[in-house]
Chain A
């Protein structure tokens, strides 16, 4: 039996270094989390499809539910808790008020390294 101890330990050290590299490579480079900016149109409207806190936490789930209900069930209208009706459409409803996609959506998504593929197909109708 050969003595493999040094090799094993060296291997472990390299592994730990690589595995923790994101931590020490980014040390001291912390950025504050950005806050999304509300567009004037959105503020003027005064309400969203759901309460703000809920949208903050669940907007991705809401959009996922919307797209499935629209595409697969042919249900295109959403009725919220206060009985208001909305067309379930990212481009034509959400962005109607949130006219500032870059400041409202992209800012946080970029910060959090979240790359939803919505925009591969869906468009910002305001963007010229």
Chain B
């Protein structure tokens, strides 16, 4: 009797667990559902590259341009302005040279560079530490080199933020709509985010898809060149071969895809 009751209880418990897990397993089949590939495509004028990159010419950068980059980018992507500075979200912003290039310590740097605002954003690394850290592949590298966020999948563990050596990522510590006027997006064509997910610059993937270059490059008044680093004929490669450029902390092995032209002093300033 004793034995039988035990066996019965064990069996009952096991089947209860099985019954409650089964529907959940069905609903969350392993692997995501994609549209069949013969039913999907890209717009004809979409910009397609193998390794998108950016060159930011600091000799042409002014406070005004730098501020404008932030403003238009944040407006286009519904980046909130939150009262609490701790909850700040930013995709691209002007940084002091010392903070942007921590491995280029130099007391006697040219005045032009000392005061030039350095726009910093996600470096779209070739070997992104954030992608390595993410436990759900919510952040991943596309074939064209862009490191993207899948906000639907992010669990908000913030491992990617600890992994990013550039401080490029922000976390939604509260509903980002709290920081939008009337809780309405500034750009209704683009989604907002929700609380509890990490976000960052997406190299304007949504604009590339419709044949436009990233917004910051477009409004930069020639200070930012965008293009395919893998194409030797591209404009960006020409710019790179014509000037001396540096990247942020390349010694960490991340392979940043954003390059900076630093001024030589007098002539350019």
Any A–B CB pair closer than 8 Å: yes
- Known contacts A65-B35, A78-B35; is A71 also within 8 Å of B148 by CB? yes
- Taking residues whose C-beta sits less than 8 angstroms from the other chain, chain B's interface range is 20 to 34
Q: In whole Å, how far is A78's beta carbon from the nearest beta carbon of chain B?
A: 6
Q: Determine whether the beta carbon of B192 is less than 8 Å from that of A123.
A: yes
Evaluate contact between A125 and B189: CB separation under 8 angstroms: yes
> In A66-116, which residues have CB < 8 Å from any B CB?
66-69, 71-80, 85, 87-88, 91-92
Neighbour of A120 across the interface among B39, B43, B185, B194, CB < 8 A: B194
For A, the interface residue count at a CB cutoff of 8 angstroms equals 30
How far is the CB of A15 from the nearest CB of chain B, in Å?
A: 13
Interface: A122 (CB within 8 A): yes
User: Does chain B have a CB within 8 A of A32?
Assistant: no
Q: Give the CA-CA distance A115 to B194 in the complex, in Å.
A: 15
The count of A-to-B residue pairs whose CB atoms sit within 8 angstroms is: 76
Q: Are A121 and B205 in contact (CB under 8 A)?
A: no
Judge if B26 is at the interface, Cβ distance under 8 Å. Answer: no
State whether A68 and B32 are in contact (beta carbons under 8 Å apart), knowing that A76-B209, A120-B194 are contacts in the complex. Answer: yes
- What are the residues of chain A within 8 A of B42 when measuring CB–CB? 74-77
Whether the pair B35, A123 counts as a contact (CB closer than 8 A) is no
Residues of B within 8 A of A78 (CB): 35, 39-40
Q: Known contacts A72-B140, A91-B188, A123-B188; decide if A77 and B41 are in contact (CB<8 Å).
A: yes
Which of A66, A73, A85, A91 sits near B189, CB closer than 8 Å?
A91
Given A76-B42, A77-B40: A65 and B142 interface contact (C-beta under 8 Å): no
CA distance A79 to B42 in the complex (A): 10
Given A72-B140, A74-B209, A78-B40, A61 contacting B33 (CB threshold 8 A): yes
Q: Which residues of B contact A61 (CB under 8 A)?
A: 33
B8 lies within 8 A of chain A by Cβ:
no
A91, B205: Cβ atoms closer than 8 Å: no
Any A CB within 8 A of the CB of B235: no
- Whether A54 is near chain B, meaning CB under 8 Å from some CB there, is no
Asked if B268 is at the interface (CB within 8 A of a chain A CB), the reply is: no
A79 touches B39 (CB 8 A): yes
Which A residue sits closest to B39, measured CB to CB? A79
Chain B residues in 8 Å Cβ range of A92: 189
Contact yes or no, B194 A117, CB < 8 A: yes
User: B159 contacts the other chain (Cβ, under 8 Å)?
Assistant: no
Contacts of B33 in A (CB 8 A): 61, 64-65, 68
Chain B residues contacting A65 (CB-CB under 8 Å) are 33-35
Residues of A within 8 A of B135 (CB): none
**Partner pick for B43 among A76, A80, A128, CB 8 A cutoff:** A76
B140: chain A residues within 8 A (beta carbon)? 72
Q: Chain A: residues with CB nearer than 8 A to chain B?
A: 61-62, 64-69, 71-80, 85, 87-88, 91-92, 117, 120-123, 125, 128
13 A-B residue contacts at CB 8 Å? A61-B33, A68-B33, A72-B32, A74-B142, A74-B144, A74-B209, A75-B37, A75-B42, A77-B41, A91-B189, A117-B194, A123-B191, A123-B192
Known contacts A74-B142, A76-B42, then 15 further A-B pairs from the complex at CB < 8 Å, ordered by chain A residue: A61-B33, A64-B33, A69-B34, A72-B140, A75-B42, A77-B40, A77-B42, A78-B35, A78-B39, A79-B40, A80-B39, A91-B189, A92-B189, A120-B194, A121-B194
